[in-house]
């Protein structure tokens, strides 16, 4: 599924199951919460903090999907074509950063 289709799928889900979108500020708070859950898993599973027994069964993929879902909601409700924005950003990064990363001594 491309990003544009994902935006449509989220919009249909909201219409059929969610009643309406939360307002933008609420969705921003939701996004912050979901990113925090991703950070918690990564810091404990891949970082130096010990992982609590209750966190060991948490699914990082599911938490990342929660982040994507809220981002798609925000894009929909603010009228952003995220596929177009992503393609533009990837093109910009490709042109701007290609030599930068190849020439970065820290990455060798």
Residue 3's pLDDT is what?
97
DSSP state for residue 20 in the 8-state scheme: S
Establish how many alpha carbons lie within 13 A of residue 12's alpha carbon, considering only the half-sphere containing its beta carbon: 6
Contacts of 60 (CB under 8 A, 6+ apart): 38, 41, 42, 45
pLDDT of 88 > 90? The answer is yes
Average pLDDT score, the chain: 95
Dig out the tokens for 21 from the structure.
């979108």
Residue 100's pLDDT is what?
87
pLDDT of 102 > 90? The answer is no
pLDDT of 44 > 90? The answer is yes
pLDDT of 107 > 90? The answer is no
Do 102 and 48 touch, CB atoms closer than 8 A? no
């Amino acid at each position: 599924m491309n990003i544009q289709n994902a935006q449509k799928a989220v919009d249909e889900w909201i219409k059929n199951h969610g009643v309406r979108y939360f307002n933008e500020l609420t969705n921003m708070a939701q996004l912050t919460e979901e990113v925090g859950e991703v950070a918690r898993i990564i810091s404990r599973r891949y970082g130096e903090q010990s992982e609590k027994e209750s966190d060991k069964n948490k699914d990082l993929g599911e938490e990342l999907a929660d982040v994507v879902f809220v981002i798609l909601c925000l894009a929909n409700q603010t009228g952003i074509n995220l596929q177009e924005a992503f393609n533009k950003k990837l093109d910009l990064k490709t042109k701007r950063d290609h030599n930068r990363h190849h020439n970065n001594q820290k990455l060798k």
